[in-house]
Structure 1
Amino acid sequence: MNTIILKSLGGAETVTGSKHLLKTSELNILIDCGLFQGIKSLREQNWQPLNLDIAETDIVILTHAHLDHCGYIPLLVKNGFKGKIYMTEPTKELAKLILLDSAKLQEEDAEKANFHHYTKHHPAKPLYTLRDAEKSFKQFFTVSENTSVQLSDNIYCRFKTCGHIIGACSVEIKCFEKIIIFSGDIGRADSAILPPPDFFTKADYIVMESTYGDRLHNPSNLSAKLEYWINQTVKNRGNIIIPSFAVGRAQELIYILYQLKEQKKIPNDLPIVMDSPMAASATDIMIEYSQYTTVNKEKWLRIIEQININREYANTSEFVQDKRSKIIIAGSGMMTGGRVLEYLKHDIGNSRNTVLIVGFQAEGTRGRALLNQSHELKIHGQYYPVKANVVELTGLSAHADQSELMEWIRKYKNPPKQIMLVHGESSAQEALRVKIQTDLKIPVKILIKDEEFIF
């Protein structure tokens, strides 16, 4: 009997930790293998055993390289996974970068916990090490977009680019005559540097992200808003701090800022600092795979010539103390860690400065606290009053909004039998569920962690 069972091990009723297991009589396939991020109760799930028989898991399919989709891979391999991990070529390079960084942070966190004795475990150990991450790379297997890959006698998969970041794809799995689509993270139709999402047109079932299922991105001109806040802050002799995800968002930002300088809409001599070794390396990968973007390699090289790219932490204090107005692009994007915290400690208490929030801010992060108009931020054990301007610019989001998600569904020539929503907070999922069922008359289920759904 060709029963197909879907079970979400993460990314169900939350935007993080994406892991969706497809169990069949021929193969058990894990679509994405991400770490939980955000509030402590989520992060603690990374340490709990998976509700999964790793020895009986045959294949991993990776939609893209963000940590919440790939960050658990070294631990899966460490715990016995032996199969191939399928992904696109740019995703392979980005995933290596992100997993090595994650492993380094895991090792550093364990070392600090042991040194400062703030751990329940003696000694504290990393979730995985650099060696674990490197070992998992041996199982990476790249595939081309729009090419059918036979996984077993009756199971095939196919990738289609979906925007979001370079190499990101939706995945079609044909399984015993049923077609199941995993959307991955769907990008914007009007990205400054990526082509619009491609799409499938036939599906029996869709497992779909819902990050912004309850909101529309502001259609107002993003460049004009950036121009306004940059010039206003420079006029006040302040700094513009843009907490940014290193992969995707940082590259889109430097492209838009380059355009604003070219058009003489912001001062040509205004320093732009990208203080993130990961963003620097991700930019190198973006240039290497420029054919996946809408910007040619020569233009990318011109853009980075005008940016102060800082890879060394030792130089950060010099940029922090520099009294000139400047634009700082630094990670992490949700302000949960990284070098952006050094700039925030110095600048968040001054009304001359502006913090531009350009991406999704998960529950429990400093970014969400700022959006909720918190009067102070706790950074490295101390509280800092929030007096800087805090401005949210949604036009730079790498996730489709509700209208774009609905349009993506409308591409299917025949409505699917059911849509399963994942990768969203409860309010977003419920709003999108009602919208789909009301407007498109398609049954929708919100997946619950570890609950099995039988096709």
Structure 2
Amino acid sequence: MSVNITFLGGAGTVTGSKYLVEAEGTRVLVDCGLFQGYKPLRLRNWSPLPVVPGQIHAVLLTHAHLDHSGYLPLLAREGFRGPVYATAGTRDLAAVLLPDSGHLQEEDAAYANRHGFSKHQPALPLYTRKDALDCLRLFRAQPMRRAFSPARGWKATFFGAGHILGAASLLLEVAGRRLLFSGDLGRKDDVLMNPPEDPPAADTLLIESTYGNREHPAESVLDELAPALQRVAARGGVAVVPVFAVGRAQLLLHAIATLKAQGRVPHGLPVFLDSPMAVASTGIFTQHPGEHRLSAHEVQALARAATMVETTEQSKALANRHGPMVILAASGMATGGRVLHHLARYAGDHRNMILLTGFQTPGTRGARIAAGEPSVRIHGQDVAIGAEVAQLRTASAHADAPQLMDWLRKLPQAPDQVYVVHGELGAADALRERIEHELHWRARVPEHGSTWPA
């Protein structure tokens, strides 16, 4: 019996991860992500999948980031009724991220309708907060390293991948074939997360390639962050810091608290975490002490590292404050959320700073800011960028190219086939070339929508 994989996302791009595995008349979807970035990619979210959602037997999530889980509410609304298997950490984070995603989409549609800048009349959300809450009932948490059956005749096992809380690589066994999905792999030197576990033996491997053509700097995030905050504090400016609510927000809180304790950043520099999702995600760290490097004391210190801003009124009140101050707000690539209001308020002043904290998917507002564009469009208006733009190169939660190669070398045996996924074409093809030349394995960068044997 043949086993096939159809690449419905995460092929030639870092977003929209969806891998449909078919064998013995059963369909299992590995990851269920939203497309982000360029408009042609985002439009894919509105196009029907080539498989009827009700004909998918189960979904398995490698982790909770929206580019891996954010399509799930729509899949369920369109008829998927099967179980969603994930680790407990992924389930807990998804319970925060997915409803927030639905809420933000409703808010953005309502804002567009009030101000009349959408081409659609009326503008509609892709899905709602209620859709997200409904899909959470489908989750079935599974422990790491313990095999379970997602469908009759199938076996699945999660292995720790680092990256964020609950993140896992997935071994899927069916019809005599072993398929290994790396998921997003973390760094062995990550400040927050434990390193990825060694991979198990597999016949077919899907490896992420976000940093497939890059190497992380040798300096620490503390050494890179300190001078940036010193500069903006010295000139009385405001640092607007787009953060990913899960992982990056907690890393920055930990780093800022450490720098203040070391006297490298003014102890009285006000810091605000303006993201209910990030506030809730920070609390989840206390529930999963074995999955990260922070001690109980350090986890508690995260909550004291900033003023937690939760209500809309509290967020709006920040506009009446004067610098110096630091505002951490989602989203991490400035694609939506409260950070847009802060950018609109502070981006024009040369005393201020926009501090980008990680990979910016091409086509996103964050990528345009990083590229030095003189203005960006926010809520239908062109906003001039007069503030200093800085980008942290050390804060990534993804393994870089040498670390990806090190993980691959730990496979007990060479796989029959490697599919290089979850990377822009340049990064994916660079990693494919290294795999072929250094490991002498057969590797391919699949095209979106293509089907290949597993």
The interval holding the TM-score normalised by the smaller chain is over 0.9
Residues 17-416 of structure 1: pairs in structure 2 closer than 5 A: 17-25=16-24, 27-116=26-115, 123-416=122-415
Distance 2:238 2:111 in 1: 31
**Structure 1 partner of 2:3:** 4
Structure 2 partner of 1:434: 433
For 1:129 and 1:344, the matched residues in 2 are separated by 25
CA distance in 2, matches of 1:89, 1:102: 20
* Structure 1 residues 320 and 395: alpha-carbon distance in aligned structure 2, compared to 1, 3 A threshold: same
CA distance in 2, matches of 1:32, 1:182: 10
The residue type equivalent to 2:96 in the other structure is L
The one-letter amino acid of 2:204's match is Y
- In the alignment, the residues of structure 2 paired with residue 80 and residue 313 of structure 1 have an alpha-carbon distance, to the nearest angstrom, of 34
Deviation at 1:249, TM superposition (A): 0.4
Query: Which amino acid in the other structure matches residue 448 of structure 1?
Result: E
1:224–1:109 CA distance, 2 compared to 1 (3 A): closer
Deviations 1:119-170 (A, max 9, x none): 5655544322222222211211000000011234532100011111100100
Greater mean alpha carbon deviation, residues 183-192 or residues 117-126: 117-126
Q: Tell me, which stretches of 5 or more residues in structure 2 are unaligned? A: none
- 3-state SS, counterpart of residue 150 of structure 1: coil
Kindly report the root-mean-square deviation, in angstroms, between the aligned alpha carbons of the 2 structures.
1.7
Post-superposition CA distance 1:369-412 (Å, at most 9, x none): 12211122222233233232212212111111111111111111
Deviates more, 1:55-64 or 1:381-390: 381-390
SS at match of 2:149: strand
AA paired with 1:88?
Answer: T
Cα deviation code 1:60-109 (max 9, x no counterpart): 00111111111111111111112110001111111121111121123334
Q: Which amino acid aligns with 2:143?
A: S
Q: Cα gap change, 1:407/1:430 in structure 2, threshold over 3 Å: closer, same or farther?
A: same
Bigger CA drift: 137-146 or 72-81?
72-81
Inter-partner Cα distance in structure 1 for 2:257 and 2:402? 29
Structure 1: how far apart are the matches of 2:169 and 2:380?
A: 41
Deviates more, 1:236-245 or 1:83-92: 236-245
Deviations 1:254-288, CA, capped at 9 Å, x for gaps: 01111111222211111111111111111111222
Amino acid at match of 1:231: Q
When normalised by structure 1's length, the TM-score is 0.95
Q: 1:172 to 1:389 in 2, by over 3 A?
A: same
Secondary structure of 1:68's match?
Answer: helix
User: 1:240, 1:355 within 8 Å by CA — same for their partners in 2?
Assistant: yes
**Do the aligned partners of 2:27 and 2:58 also contact (CA within 8 Å) in 1?**
yes
Establish whether residue 447 from structure 1 lines up as the match of residue 433 from structure 2: no
Give the Cα–Cα distance (whole angstroms) in 2 for the partners of residues 132 and 68 of structure 1: 17
**Which of 280-289 and 112-121 deviates more?**
112-121
TM-score, scaled relative to structure 2? 0.96
What is the CA–CA distance in structure 2 between the aligned matches of 1:100 and 1:3, rounded to whole Å? 38
1:427–1:319 CA distance, 2 compared to 1 (3 A):
same
Contact (CA 8 Å) 2:282, 2:302: kept in 1 or not? no
CA deviations over 1:286-311 (Å, ceiling 9, x no partner): 22223321113333123312311101
Q: Distance in 2 between matches of 1:425 and 1:203?
A: 25
1:419 corresponds to 2:418: yes
Shift of 1:352: 2.2
C-alpha distance in 2 between matches for 1:183 and 1:435: 17
Alpha-carbon distance between aligned partners in 2 of 1:226 and 1:394, rounded to the nearest angstrom: 10
Partner Cα separation in structure 2 for residue 107 and residue 235 of structure 1: 39
SS in 1 for 2:233: helix
- Over the matched positions of the two proteins, sequence identity in percent amounts to 38
**Maintained 8 Å contact 2:93/2:281:** yes
Structure 1 gaps of 5+ residues are none
Q: Please, which moves more after superposition, 422-431 or 236-245?
A: 236-245
Aligned partners of 2:17, 2:431: CA distance in 1, in Å?
Answer: 19
The CA deviation at 1:433 is 1.1
Confirm or deny: 8 A CA contact 2:117 2:380 kept in the other structure: no
**Hey, what's the Cα distance between the residues in 2 that align with 1:206 and 1:128?**
32
Give the SS at the match of 1:430.
Answer: helix
Q: Following the alignment from structure 1 to structure 2, what is the Cα–Cα distance between the partners of residues 103 and 34?
A: 14
The residue type paired with residue 244 of structure 1 is: V
SS at the partner of 1:395?
coil
2:354 counterpart SS class: strand
CA distance in 2 between partners of 1:304 and 1:201 (Å): 37
Which amino acid letter does the alignment assign opposite residue 9 of structure 1?
A: L
Does the residue aligned with 2:394 lie in a helix, a strand or coil?
Answer: helix
Query: Partner of 2:366: helix, strand, or coil?
Result: helix
Number of residue pairs the alignment of both structures matches:
454
Distance 2:190 2:15 in 1: 23
- SS of aligned partner of 2:317: helix
Alpha-carbon distance in 1 for matches of 2:119, 2:344: 29
Question: Given that residues 107 and 125 in structure 1 are in contact (C-alpha distance below 8 angstroms), is that contact kept between their aligned partners in structure 2?
Answer: yes
> Cα–Cα, structure 1 residues 13 and 107, in superposed 2: closer, same or farther, change >3 Å?
same
Residue 421 of structure 1 aligns to a residue whose secondary structure is strand
Secondary structure of 2:408's aligned partner: helix
Q: What is the CA deviation profile of residues 295-349 of structure 1, one whole-angstrom value per residue up to 9, with x for unaligned ones?
A: 1333312331231110112122332332231121111111112222222223222
Distance 1:436 1:324, change over 3 A: same
